[in-house]
Amino acid sequence: MKNGQELQQSATTETQPQEYVVGYGMAEQLHAGTPAIGEEQLTEARRILEEYKNGKQNLEQKIVNNEQFWKLRHWEMAKEPEHQQTPATAWLWNLIVSKHADLMDGFPEPNILPREPDDKEEARRLSAIVPVVLEQNDFRRTYSRAGYYKGKHGTSIYKVIWDAEKLNGLGDITIRLVDAINLFWEPGITDIQDSRNLFQCELIDNDELKATWPQLTDELLGSDLTVAKYLYDDHVDTTKKSTVVDWYYKKRVGGKTVLHYCKFVGDVVLYATENETTPPTSPLTDPDTGGQAVNPETGHAIAQPVGLPPAQAGLYDHGQYPFVFDVLFEIAGSPFGYGYTDILKPTQISIDQLNAALVKNARMAVRRRYLVSQQCGLNQKDFADWNQELIEVNGSPSEEHVRELTVAPLPGIYVDMLQFQIEQLKETGGNRDVNNGGGQSGVTAASAIAALQEAGNKTSRDMIATTYDAYKQICTQVIELIRQFYDTPRQFRITGEHGEEIFATYDNSDLRPQAQGTEFGIDMGYRVPQFDIKVSAQKATPYSKMAQNELGLQFYNLDLFNPQNATRALALLEMMDFDGKEEIEQRIEQNGTLLDQFRQVMQLALGMASRYDPNMVPMLMQTAQAAGLGGAPGMRVAADPELVETMEDGSLKQEEHAFVRKAREQAQSSTQPR
């Protein structure tokens, strides 16, 4: 056997992204001595994998059968020959497609919020960077495929890993959908993170394996490990492929749980984090020249350790399995749930059976058949040919000799039963006609139909809510991988608040542990920035857009955006609940604050004008009136333009305006003798 000491490489094939680079990009280091993961450990791992596989057989068979239902091929699995010809209807298929459309209408978008004030700017930057990372992974397509998988089988599984081969070796995050048939976990657990081991199996061409690991030979390739297979329409040849296993497991190291990883094929270790004992390094800077430090004797660059070796740090710093389960309907004792196919298979089968019986009866009824007596002397060939206008007979034909064989139609109760089964499937799956744009008898108003659609989408909203929970976990793992691996600055094209293109440079310098300094001579240690994730729909449905626009028009007509009504508007909004409420509250509060500031400035301006330039007072008062303020607080225009109203001791009093009083004093002084 060849162990990891002989076959240690970190490159992988295009179908199997590299999940870790030894030394974060440094040259590969081979070990000396016995590796931690060798033949004995692989034997135990294969035993555990076989145990997990045996405990998952029922789930695998269910997934294969559900896929046949999705392809409308479920009658091909029927044991009775007469059922193999039964036509399949697409009521269940239509339900899954409808739920998938609801998922796509609510495509998620993250809003990353800081937990501490010092992290506000970093949270704002991450809110712009994380969607770009998802877009570069074509996440919308992955999300769409996951939506179909979730509806068919009950759970979709995402894998969030670091691919060191991306971007020409710079490395970046990869997000992909995982088929549950190829993933194996500990039986009996509910949370996938509680599984002691986790295995992912994948068939890879032998030629690709030998190109990536030249040390592999034909004798070392191939595996007796088999996984369940779908009933493909095409012939899939797996004789020239080998099963490559990604083995994830957790261990307690230094008081914390560490995630380790091993890739193997057959009895050969291809890579194992526990076999990597060399710590990662980075070039040492020469303090005199500012450049890279060089050993004067050898001329080689000098490097310094920058972290723990993978044997101690594990695969990822976050210590979690890089898999996120998005469960539709949960099952006790399993991280994998069940979906609409599992619930509605019996109803769909009943619909197909009743439909087949009605179709068969209709075919028999439209085909005219006759009972012909042998004594009639009728030419049966001519009688069966409807193109023959004349039919010769021997003797005198009568109704006793030729009688039509009639087929009695099935009673209407069977048609009603078929319709009942269809309605049962719609009601159970929450896929009523109104959800697909249809109306009900007597309901013609557009607003009423829209209200029925919103009320009927409760199950879809619940399904989308659980998907958003999984989306939060995906974004959390993306942020943690950014924190660990984005050491080198990289460029991102992001969209600004007003739709403009912004090219930003980003790295993980503000996400790494931050020293807190000392207080009273005590080292306060390090702080790691943490964030919360709020998920919202990226694009609202046409109905929600219409409702949001109508709500905005109502607010405008109620004059809630008038700064003078800020207090009343905020009191009203406090009792309401709708998307975007916080932004509107902030805008109204800002308008109210600006109004108060304007009033203070106007008060000051009127006071100064009354003292130094009374001729400016009328213009200022007109400005205040034009702005809808009625003057500054405590001083506003009265009914008489020569009077001003003031608040004194809680009561309203009128007095002469300052410029009127000064004008009277000047006129009086001019008439007095000097």
pLDDT value at 470 more than 70: yes
- In the chain, the percentage of residues whose pLDDT exceeds 70 is 76
pLDDT of residue 30: 36
Q: Is 329 helix (H, G, I), strand (E, B) or coil?
A: strand
Report pLDDT for 74: 84
User: Domain ranges in the chain?
Assistant: 342-438
- 401 vs 157, which has greater pLDDT? 157
pLDDT tens by residue, 151-173: 999 999 999 999 988 888 889 99
How does residue 2 score in pLDDT terms, banded at 50, 70 and 90?
A: very low
Strand, coil or helix: what is 270? strand
Closest of 256, 249, 247, 311 to residue 280, by C-alpha = 311
Mean pLDDT within 283-305: 76
Position 638 scores a pLDDT of: 40
CB contact burial 290-314 (16+ within 10 A = b; e otherwise): eeebeeeeeeeeebeeeeebbbebb
- The string of pLDDT tens digits covering residues 173-184 is 999 999 999 999
Amino acid at position 5, single letter: Q
More confident residue, 479 or 216: 479
- Higher-confidence residue of 629 and 415: namely 415
The overall average pLDDT reported for the chain is: 78
The alpha carbon dihedral of 398, 401, 402, 407 has a sign of positive
Tell me the pLDDT tens digit for each residue of 308-320: 888 888 999 999 9
Quote the pLDDT of residue 34. Answer: 77
pLDDT for res 21: 34
| Residue whose pair of structure tokens reads 């400005």 in the numeric block | 623
Helix (H, G, I), strand (E, B) or coil at 33: coil
What pLDDT score was predicted for residue 327? 95
| Cα separation, 567 vs 558, whole angstroms | 14
Q: What is the mean pLDDT of the segment spanning 537-561? A: 68
Q: What does the pLDDT read at residue 161?
A: 95
User: Please, are residues 35 and 54 in contact by the beta-carbon 8 Å criterion?
Assistant: no
Do the beta carbons of residue 73 and residue 65 sit within 8 Å? no
Question: Can you tell me the mean pLDDT for 366-393?
Answer: 73
Considering only residues 296 and 140, tell me which one the structure prediction assigns the higher pLDDT: 140
- Which residues, at least 6 apart from 540, have a Cβ–Cβ distance to it below 8 Å? 105, 548, 579
d(CA 362, CA 356): 10
- Tell me, what amino acid is at 580? G
Q: How confident is residue 570, by pLDDT bands cut at 50, 70 and 90?
A: confident
* Apex 161 CA angle, 158 and 167, nearest 5: 120
What is the pLDDT, as a whole number, of residue 645? 47
Q: Is the pLDDT of residue 7 over 50?
A: no
pLDDT of residue 9: 36
CA count, 13 A, side-chain hemisphere, 293:
11
Q: How far, in Å, CA of 519 to CA of 508, rounded?
A: 27
Percentage of the residues of the chain whose pLDDT score is greater than 90: 29
pLDDT (average), residues 616-621? 76
pLDDT of residue 375: 65
Nearest to 122 by CA among 512, 597, 549, 651: 512
pLDDT at 132 over 90: yes
pLDDT for 671 beyond 60: no
Rounded to an integer, the average pLDDT of 354-371 is 82
Region 381-396 average pLDDT: 74
In contact, 508 and 482? CB cutoff 8 Å: yes
**Residue 6 or 204, more confident:** 204
DSSP state string for 172-228:
EEEEEEE-GGGEEE-TT-SSGGG-SEEEEEEEEEHHHHHHH-TT--TTT---S----
